[in-house]
Amino acid sequence: MSRRLTRRRALATLGLGAPALLLGCDRLGRAPSFRDMVLETGEWLSYRAQRLVAGQALAREYAPSDMSPVFRTNGSTRPRDPDYLAHAETGFADWRLAVDGRVARPGTFSLSDLRDMPARTQITRHDCVEGWSAIGQWTGVPLWHLLQQTGIRAEARYIVFHCADDYSGRPYYESIDLADAAHPQTILAYAMNEAALPMGHGAPLRLRVERQLGYKHAKFVMRIEAVATLAETGLGKGGFWEDRGFYEWYAGI
């Protein structure tokens, strides 16, 4: 791992300790509006159990010799958005990630900006909801560090990822809560297997949230929004597939 940013340091900078953050997530999990709007009963029990039992435990990390010789792509592999394709033609030289919503200092960041931030490299297993797995190496900036730079505000409860890909003309989006956002293995990856992130795997930037199933790992991230509620995100369930009843919002493993 290179230039590793510790979650403890990030939370200390914000004036929050790990117990305070997890207590907030515990209160969130008990809130009736959270259960009714986002989680079904079984999913809520899974969410609560994962938060209380697993806490901030790390997902298993592997040795380079364990890496899969082939790491298949899945979902969208080439967005149709003209702006995205124009950026891809220039190697994303002029691309910018927007960070806004419930933050004190909204801003935009180039790939160079992100690469200059503290980085984390991890070799982890990707578990797809469709039943396949693969092990790969990911390098990127810890999400919590980026949120720290923009000054995430106290009322923020979720982080929403707006993406360049679409399904039937409907833009793709996904979200996680602050407990996963602050997890040390949650990164915005710009490299895979010691090379620039390929388009099929979400270039120029994808989310890695290692304790959840693969569909939560949003690809082609263009904008990150901190929100107080998911009610105004899509249809209110927190993700593109979740809104359409295909998958649960919480996909902890």
pLDDT in tens, 88-105: 999 999 999 999 999 999
Q: Which residues contact 140 (CB under 8 A, 6 or more apart)?
A: 114, 119, 120, 187, 188, 189, 190, 191, 205, 208
pLDDT at 27 > cutoff 80:
no
Residue 100 CB-density burial (10 A; 0-12 exposed, 13-18 middle, 19+ buried): middle
pLDDT tens per residue, range 117-176: 999 999 999 999 999 999 999 999 999 999 999 999 999 999 999 999 999 999 999 999
User: Taking Cα atoms as reference points, which of 223, 228, 233 lies closest to residue 99?
Assistant: 223
3-state secondary structure of 35: helix
Which has more confidence, 156 or 253?
A: 156
Report, as an integer, the average pLDDT of 235-242. 97
Architecture per CATH, 7-243:
Alpha-Beta Complex (3.90)
Q: Which residues contact 120 (CB under 8 A, 6 or more apart)?
A: 1, 2, 3, 4, 5, 139, 140, 141, 142, 184, 185, 187
Domain boundaries, the chain: 7-243
